[in-house]
């Protein structure tokens, strides 16, 4: 296997793990109270995202007859960005990922909400 192919496969595996981490719990939480159940709900959420990734990578193969590491990176980023349009949590996570350094102080101040709960 050429060196680039190994990097591409490794990138796909690592990014797929990231999809599981980012979307499984969301799907599980939404489906937990439905007949589908939390486990299948999580898998459906992950499958939906990975289905879009596979579709885009398939179109790239049709168009160019090969993948580059950049194609894989852009595909996963585009799919996550698409999902972020409807999901505020993912939008926040993307903002944190783009920060040079992370400080808890950069997060929203919840003092007002906590004070309302105490009353």
Range of the domain at 8: 3-118
- Amino acid 88: pLDDT: 79
Question: Cα 82–48–55 angle (5° rounding)?
Answer: 75
C-alpha dihedral sign at 18, 23, 28, 34:
negative
C-alpha dihedral sign at 19, 86, 77, 66:
positive
Number of structural domains (the chain) is 1
State the first-to-last Cα distance of the chain, in angstroms, to the nearest integer: 64
Tens digit of pLDDT at every position of the chain (119 positions): 556 889 999 999 999 999 999 899 888 988 988 999 999 999 999 999 999 999 999 999 999 999 999 999 999 999 988 887 877 777 777 777 777 666 666 565 666 665 666 55
Whether this prediction's pTM lies above 0.75 is answered by: no
């Amino acid at each position: 296997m050429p060196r680039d192919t190994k990097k591409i496969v490794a990138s796909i595996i690592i990014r797929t793990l990231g999809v599981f981490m980012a979307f499984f719990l969301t799907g599980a939480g939404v489906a937990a109270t439905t007949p589908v159940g939390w486990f299948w709900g999580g898998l459906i959420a992950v499958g939906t995202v990975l289905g879009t990734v596979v579709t885009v990578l398939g179109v790239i193969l049709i168009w160019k007859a090969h993948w580059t590491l950049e194609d894989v990176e852009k595909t996963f980023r585009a799919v996550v960005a698409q999902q972020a349009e409807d999901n505020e949590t993912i939008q926040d996570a993307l903002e944190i990922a783009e920060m040079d350094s992370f400080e808890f102080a950069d997060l929203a101040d919840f003092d007002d909400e906590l004070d309302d709960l105490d009353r």
